[in-house]
Structure 1
Amino acid sequence: MTMRTRRSLSIFAGTIALLTAAAACSSDDPASPTGESGATGGDLTVAGPIPIENLDPHGAASLDGGTQLAARAIFSQLVVSTGPGEFEGELAESWEPNADTTEWTFTLREGVEYSDGTAVTAADVVASFERVLAGEGPLAGNFGGYTVAAPDESTVVFTSPTPDAAFLGKISSFFVTPQGAAEEGFFQDPIGSGPFVVESFEPGASLQLAPNPGYWDGEPTLDTLEFQSIPEVAARMTALQTGEVDVTWSMPDDQIAALKSDSDLTVENVPSPGVITMWMNSSTPALQDPAVRRALWQAVDFESIIGSLYPETGSPADSVISPAVLGYAPQEPVPYDPEAAKAALDAAGFDYENTVIRWQFSQANFRNLVDAVVSDLAEIGVTVEPLEKEQAVFLEDLLALNWDMNLQQLGTQGFDAATNLGRLYTCAANRTGYCNEQLDQILAEAGSTSDTALREELYAQATEIIWNDAVGMYPMFVEQPYAWRTSVEGFEPVPDGLPYFDEVAVSGD
């Protein structure tokens, strides 16, 4: 493995690689101060699909798309995932597991400083990780029973009570902050070691950034970087075409053709680990029976919906996780058969008259999908109440199981099934109201072996259980579409929808 600079990150588009435990070594190539065409500086405005509500990468919003996007600009990761089983170092110069992968030792890159000039040390890594564990947010679910220690200023040792060959994939979503991050108000004006520093932050509206002149990988070329929240899709597309916004992604398919015809824009789709996921809350009395959940899935004509709404970016899914992920295992598709669905619901004693299924979602670009699914379910007499929520409320209700169905595009951190199946579907996680002790045992074994072939076999068993018990509906694999103005130089789309901007420049400013 090589020491990663953000300028060397390549787009994952290949086949699944074997998970290795090789150590990383550093690269001394200096970072170029300009974009590929020689453009320098400029002001860049970005509008992603998810608003940035919170800058704290350790707590309840740790795996929220907006928080992770901001964190990549402000803070630094230990390692970065570049594909299934493929990792490059950022703050970590090298890493090595012990024989049974219960212990992972990281050596930090020398000379990295925060934007206030203080050194990044192993003590900061320890404090950040312990803060993740104490916060009990989504990221903490990856690290049950873990402890962390710093034998010296440049060495960090993570210890698990059980073998964890998937640790690198899990830790790739972890960001290091100063020990003072525990102080109240820190994340309104945070200090980080990433490429940009915060100038101002209005949650859910705007995040204004400036380049960090002391960034370890070379000062970014941009003069300013702004993340704007434009929740309405039409308004976001208009802003892109008029030049108010320079970069966006996750555009609706019906907008992509028009964007491609605009000579001032570049439009590109990239493979994605994302799956449109519609969990069904198994703790809701009406949805406790797997036969009911599967019947609801069978009642929706997803193939037609995908062909109509997602001709550019969607394809019917045959698994809980994407083919781009280590552990992908194809399943028998659930056929559309409304008559069989109605018969199954009748046989299960489904109470049509008194059951209203509360379906929550947070992104405006899901509205057409929601309408189509609600219409299909209404055809067999099932009433669904769509609830579009602000992102912060959506996340709070998601964790509280305050919903009957939940819609999201669910990715897989580190391209490893451990960060999806292993984190979200255990009884202890309680993310869907579903609990299956046999599934727990399979997931525990899959997360504890370093035998890649065995891990894939175990995740295939887990996927079959989740699929057949219809813990959710899994209708669609997703490609990630990006669009940016031709004046933007050096921008690289990434599969996970969380791009970096430190090597970007804007010409003509």
Structure 2
Amino acid sequence: MTRSLAPRSPRLAALALIAAAALAISGCSAASGGGGSAGSAGGEITVAGTYAIESLDPDSPTSGGATGTQLAAKAIFSRLVRPRSDGTLEGDLATAWKPDSTATQWTFTLRPDVKFSDGKPVTADDVVGSFKRFVELKSTNAANFTGYTMAATSPAEVVLTAPKPDAAVPYKLAVFFVMPGSLTGESPAWFQTPVGSGPFKVEKFDSSGTLVLVPNPGHYAGAPKAGRVTIRKMPELAARLTALRTGEVDLVSGIPDDQLAALQQDSNLKVETVPSTAVFTMWFNSGTPALKDAKVRRALWQAVDFATIIKRLYPQTGSLADAPVSPITLGHVPQEPVRYDPDAAKAALKDAGFDFSAKLRLQFANAEFRAFNQAIVSDLQKIGVQVDLLEKEQAVFTKDLLALNWDVNFQQLSNPTFDSANTLGRLYPCAAKRNGYCNPELDKLLAAAGASPDSDERVRLYGEASKIIWSDAVGMFPMAVKYAYAWNRRVTGVTPDPNGLPDFSGMQVSGS
């Protein structure tokens, strides 16, 4: 997953424009391609995924935020707006958008003559109905829109109303997908063969998690170039890489560092790593008595030699994080590094009355993160801190995460909106109840950052908020992540995505 991105200054300029006035978008999309259909000249592309796609419903409260579901949703459904790979926005169903003077109302002008894959027109009522369903199902991403409403003010316009000023609305909408407005509630049967207005439609979706996509010939920007895209679950790394080398699959992501050198030497493959929006994030449950004291949390962070662990496990795709959000996220402000000092850490824990006989529960999901977490446990044990390392199935992990049934929680936390409102603003207020931490001063800063129409001011405020999160050790933030992609050179049009969600609509097999 990976490729270097544009510097932040153009992005800040773009954000200022968004907050100031309407952004006119051309009628042509980056996804434009030839008139592909199944078996067309664009060829067939097979993608190997680490995880099964368990659902195609991006609004599902249980699986909507999963990487596989979001990957599929990008191909099948349209959004009002979508982020480019450099973090700036472009229109999808919307051709322009602008706030009122208080940034509590945002008006979106809709692209005309867009159709769903069944030939029916996409209307303003479909957008409004989809937003209502999105909010009512209370998926993880819907937490950005508590108390927000949307109305159709004309056949070509919708207005989103926020309960308070919100300058980040367009970026938050990067995770809102439009479906037929008549769809309500959770509808698993409907999502077996859903109807969308994205570049692809579903040919097959089976219980193994295999998804087969074919071009949507009625896509407003023209059908994508590939004649068919198959996304297969291949959880075993060795199997994925073997299939890539033999040509059984064409694109693989999530490649560990110890495998990159061999792939880079294969003349049939192209390998790229790109900065991502992801940060390894290890929350402490501040509601646990043993972790209530910020001095204890900071000491535990100081006891882990993250620089050495990253150098050993992630020499190409990892670097020490310097903030709770990644450098390509709006609101990133570097913080003072936490210096590894196990002796000072142990002394601080003793001074704070830490109970060394009690065990902390560190939970994570996915085997790819096992070695990293084992190394953390080892370092903590060196100063006498006992840890139960709990590797959980994704569904159990998510349930326990929300129930705060853990002491330390590991996640690779990405940000598909490229805006700190989606991470800092959503996950760290008292009302979020995500990590047992509550600080009214932090709440005020996050509210002010979310409301300000001035991008420089928002960065400043998010920087102040990050300083509190960092110094109070709400969690440990050890690593900024790069994504590694590898693909067969016969496939062209691959643009590595900083969220691990590549766009298939511009890809094709050369010579097909």
Give TM-score scaled by structure 2 length: 0.92
Letter in 2 for 1:213: P
Q: Report whether the alignment pairs 1:431 with 2:431.
A: no
Partners of 1:63 and 1:139 within 8 A in 2: yes
CA shift, 1:87, in A, is 1.3
Matches within 5 A, 1:455-466: 455-466=458-469
Query: Given the superposition, is the C-alpha separation of residues 136 and 307 from structure 1 closer, same or farther in structure 2, using an over 3 Å criterion?
Result: same
Partners of 2:50 and 2:236 within 8 A in 1: no
Q: Deviations over 1:162-182 (max 9, x none)?
A: 111111111112111112432
Query: Which position in structure 1 is the counterpart of 2:350?
Result: 346
Letter in 1 for 2:229: L
Rounded to whole Å, the distance in 2 between the matches of 1:85 and 1:314 is 20
Partners of 1:276 and 1:407 within 8 A in 2: yes
Letter in 2 for 1:97: P
Query: Which position in structure 2 is the counterpart of 1:92?
Result: 94
Matches within 5 A, 1:347-496: 347-355=351-359, 357-496=360-499
Partners of 2:85 and 2:497 within 8 A in 1: no
Partners of 1:277 and 1:474 within 8 A in 2: yes
Query: Which position in structure 2 is the counterpart of 1:15?
Result: 8
Query: Given the superposition, is the C-alpha separation of residues 85 and 375 from structure 1 closer, same or farther in structure 2, using an over 3 Å criterion?
Result: closer
Letter in 1 for 2:369: F
- Of 81-90 and 213-222, deviating more is 81-90
Q: Report whether the alignment pairs 1:315 with 2:319.
A: yes
Long gaps (5+) in structure 2: none
Query: Given the superposition, is the C-alpha separation of residues 85 and 508 from structure 1 closer, same or farther in structure 2, using an over 3 Å criterion?
Result: closer
Matches within 5 A, 1:71-150: 71-82=73-84, 86-150=88-152
CA shift, 1:451, in A, is 1.9
CA shift, 1:475, in A, is 0.8
- Of 381-390 and 68-77, deviating more is 381-390
Rounded to whole Å, the distance in 1 between the matches of 2:403 and 2:122 is 35
CA shift, 1:34, in A, is 7.7
Counterpart secondary structure, 1:397: helix
Rounded to whole Å, the distance in 1 between the matches of 2:479 and 2:48 is 24
Rounded to whole Å, the distance in 2 between the matches of 1:266 and 1:85 is 24
Letter in 1 for 2:219: Y
Query: Given the superposition, is the C-alpha separation of residues 202 and 389 from structure 1 closer, same or farther in structure 2, using an over 3 Å criterion?
Result: farther
Rounded to whole Å, the distance in 2 between the matches of 1:297 and 1:11 is 29
Rounded to whole Å, the distance in 2 between the matches of 1:465 and 1:293 is 13
Q: Report whether the alignment pairs 1:334 with 2:338.
A: yes
- Of 47-56 and 451-460, deviating more is 47-56
CA shift, 1:245, in A, is 1.9
Partners of 2:35 and 2:222 within 8 A in 1: no
Partners of 1:325 and 1:415 within 8 A in 2: yes
Matches within 5 A, 1:139-288: 139-182=141-184, 184=187, 185-202=189-206, 205-288=209-292
Partners of 1:327 and 1:416 within 8 A in 2: yes
Q: Identity across aligned pairs (percent)?
A: 53
Query: Which position in structure 2 is the counterpart of 1:5?
Result: none
Long gaps (5+) in structure 1: 1-9
Rounded to whole Å, the distance in 1 between the matches of 2:461 and 2:208 is 40
Give TM-score scaled by structure 1 length: 0.93
Letter in 1 for 2:6: A
Runs of 4 or more consecutive aligned structure 1 residues displaced over 6 Å after TM superposition? none
Q: Deviations over 1:215-267 (max 9, x none)?
A: 12111222221111222323322222222221111211111111101111100
Query: Given the superposition, is the C-alpha separation of residues 85 and 220 from structure 1 closer, same or farther in structure 2, using an over 3 Å criterion?
Result: closer
Query: Given the superposition, is the C-alpha separation of residues 425 and 153 from structure 1 closer, same or farther in structure 2, using an over 3 Å criterion?
Result: same
Rounded to whole Å, the distance in 2 between the matches of 1:11 and 1:74 is 27
Query: Which position in structure 2 is the counterpart of 1:52?
Result: 53
CA shift, 1:413, in A, is 2.9
CA shift, 1:502, in A, is 1.1
Partners of 2:87 and 2:328 within 8 A in 1: no
Counterpart secondary structure, 2:410: strand
Q: Deviations over 1:148-200 (max 9, x none)?
A: 10122221100012111111111112111112432632222211111111122
CA shift, 1:97, in A, is 0.8
CA shift, 1:142, in A, is 0.9
Rounded to whole Å, the distance in 1 between the matches of 2:448 and 2:207 is 41
- Of 138-147 and 297-306, deviating more is 138-147
- Of 183-192 and 415-424, deviating more is 183-192
Query: Given the superposition, is the C-alpha separation of residues 29 and 324 from structure 1 closer, same or farther in structure 2, using an over 3 Å criterion?
Result: closer
Query: Which position in structure 1 is the counterpart of 2:44?
Result: 43
Query: Given the superposition, is the C-alpha separation of residues 207 and 387 from structure 1 closer, same or farther in structure 2, using an over 3 Å criterion?
Result: farther
CA shift, 1:49, in A, is 3.7
Rounded to whole Å, the distance in 1 between the matches of 2:44 and 2:389 is 39
Partners of 1:276 and 1:410 within 8 A in 2: yes
Counterpart secondary structure, 2:276: coil
* Count of aligned pairs between the two proteins: 496
Letter in 2 for 1:41: G
Partners of 2:85 and 2:498 within 8 A in 1: no
Rounded to whole Å, the distance in 1 between the matches of 2:72 and 2:409 is 25
Query: Which position in structure 2 is the counterpart of 1:306?
Result: 310
Letter in 2 for 1:98: D
Rounded to whole Å, the distance in 1 between the matches of 2:397 and 2:213 is 26
Rounded to whole Å, the distance in 2 between the matches of 1:127 and 1:283 is 38
Partners of 1:78 and 1:171 within 8 A in 2: yes
Counterpart secondary structure, 1:158: strand
CA shift, 1:85, in A, is 7.1
CA shift, 1:379, in A, is 1.1
Rounded to whole Å, the distance in 1 between the matches of 2:231 and 2:394 is 16
Rounded to whole Å, the distance in 2 between the matches of 1:26 and 1:311 is 40
CA shift, 1:439, in A, is 0.6
Partners of 1:50 and 1:229 within 8 A in 2: yes
CA shift, 1:438, in A, is 1.1
Rounded to whole Å, the distance in 2 between the matches of 1:418 and 1:347 is 36
Counterpart secondary structure, 1:496: coil
